[in-house]
Amino acid sequence: MQTDAQQDLIPETRLHEFTHKDVWNGFTQLVPLSFFVIVFGIAFGVASAQTGLDNISTMLMSALVFAGASQFATLDLWGAEVPLIPMMITVFAINARHLLMGATLYPWLRELSPAKRYGVMLFASDANWAMSMNAFSRKEPGLGLLLGGGIALWSFWIVGTWLGLYFGNAISDPVSLGLDMVMGCFLLSMVGVGPKNLRIVAIWAIAAGSSLLAYWFLPENSHVVVGAIAGGSLGAFWTEKKL
């Protein structure tokens, strides 16, 4: 484990580097949160079985898509005749925030080979992205955290889906237990421990305000995209001053 003094000596040009140990540390840091991901995986497995989707397709969806909100939205559109174009638009709208995630990580991702770059981003999710960005803001390498944490979330999501298919009656309504708030509370805590200045506060305020307006007045799930674009656009135009 590096001391704070040693971490301060890590040059900016090496923040993209990560080792197997960094990936393992990222995995272990996200394991506690991943237990809550199991609950949502169970809920998805139950909902999928009730929709009539076969077990193999359900497991493949969780393994290859790895996006809970869009997977649930897909089930809402599933039937004898699948509306392919509306489904594609819905999934893209819900996951459009990943475009901005990639943009914020690009200063470090561009230093990797294409295979490593896209391999890391396959496991990008809200929680490990937030922790990775906090690490970079502290001038610490964050891609090992992004990859390891993503593998933890992905693994537990698959386990939860399997449990939902075979033992799904245990928790069929996670919202009634308030477990749908876990990810939101986690991301809010990431805001609290991150850097604090006028620029950061303004970005989060714009993102939150625009998300609320979109939630109230625009179609379902559009608040995710609107908030991300609004906050990301302000951050792009209001650049951070270099010391």
Determine whether 81 is exposed, middle or buried from the number of CB atoms within 10 Å of its CB (0-12, 13-18, 19+).
exposed
Q: What is the pLDDT of residue 230?
A: 82
Q: Which tens digits make up the pLDDT trace of 90-131?
A: 788 778 778 878 888 998 999 999 999 999 999 999 889 989
- 123 Cβ contact list (under 8 Å, min separation 6): 66, 146, 147, 149, 150, 151, 153, 154
Q: What is the pLDDT of residue 1?
A: 43
Q: What is the pLDDT of residue 55?
A: 92
Q: Split the chain (243 residues) into runs of 10 and give each run's mean pLDDT.
A: 48 81 94 88 86 90 88 77 77 78 89 92 90 89 94 95 82 62 59 68 85 85 73 73 52
Residue carrying structure tokens 């996670």: 174
Q: What is the pLDDT of residue 4?
A: 47
pTM: 0.73
Task: Report the candidate in 39, 44, 190, 202 with the shortest Cα–Cα distance to residue 126.
Answer: 190
CA 230 to chain centre: 18
Q: What is the pLDDT of residue 189?
A: 59
